[in-house]
Amino acid sequence: MLDINLLRKDLEGVITRLSTRKNPQPFLDIDRFIALEAERKTLQTRTEELQAQRNQHSKHIGQRKAKGEDAADVMEQVAAIKVELDNSAARLEAIQDELHDLLMGVPNLPYPQVPVGADETGNVEVRRWGQPRAFDFAVRDHVDVGAALGLDFETGAKLSGARFTVLRGPLARLHRALAQFML
Question: Tens of pLDDT along 87-117?
Answer: 999 999 999 999 999 989 888 888 888 888 8
The full DSSP string for 86-117 is HHHHHHHHHHHHHHHHHHHTSPPPPPTTSPP-
4-104 CATH fold:
Helix Hairpins (1.10.287)
Distance CA 100, CA 178 (A): 38
Domain boundaries, the chain: 4-104, 141-183
Other C-beta atoms closer than 10 Å to the C-beta of 98 total 15
List, in sequence order, every residue forming a beta bridge with 166; answer none if it has no partner: 152
Span 77-86, pLDDT tens digits: 889 999 999 9
So what's the pLDDT on residue 117? 80
